Amino acid sequence: MYYTYRMNEDRLYDEQGMEWTVYGIEALDTAGNILCCFSDIFFEQEKAKEFVQMCNEQAVEPVHIQDVIDDVLAQLYSV
């Protein structure tokens, strides 16, 4: 099965009503059906775009996307 990834964008609100834009990723099949969706991964659009591009270039299997997300977040935000 062939699939492709694209970035998604959501708006979230905190307790004070402040709006935040967050970005995620979704996998689509050749018919455009969403196979899996992960939102609220990145606060920065550029990081999300780079991640989506990497997933498409590396042909990450949708079954492994959660592990790849975990690895990227650990690299970006580990102290």
pLDDT at residue 1 greater than cutoff 70: no
Of 35, 39, 41, the residue nearest 61 (C-alpha): 35
pLDDT band at residue 78 using 50, 70 and 90 as cut-offs: confident
Handedness of CA 13, 18, 21, 22 (dihedral sign): negative
Domain count, the chain: 1
What range does the domain containing 15 cover?
3-77
* pLDDT tens digit sequence for 7-62: 999 999 999 999 999 999 999 999 999 999 999 999 999 999 999 999 999 999 99
The pTM (predicted TM-score) of the whole model is 0.88
The answer on pLDDT for 79 being more than 70 is no
- The band of 2, judged by pLDDT with boundaries at 50, 70 and 90, is confident
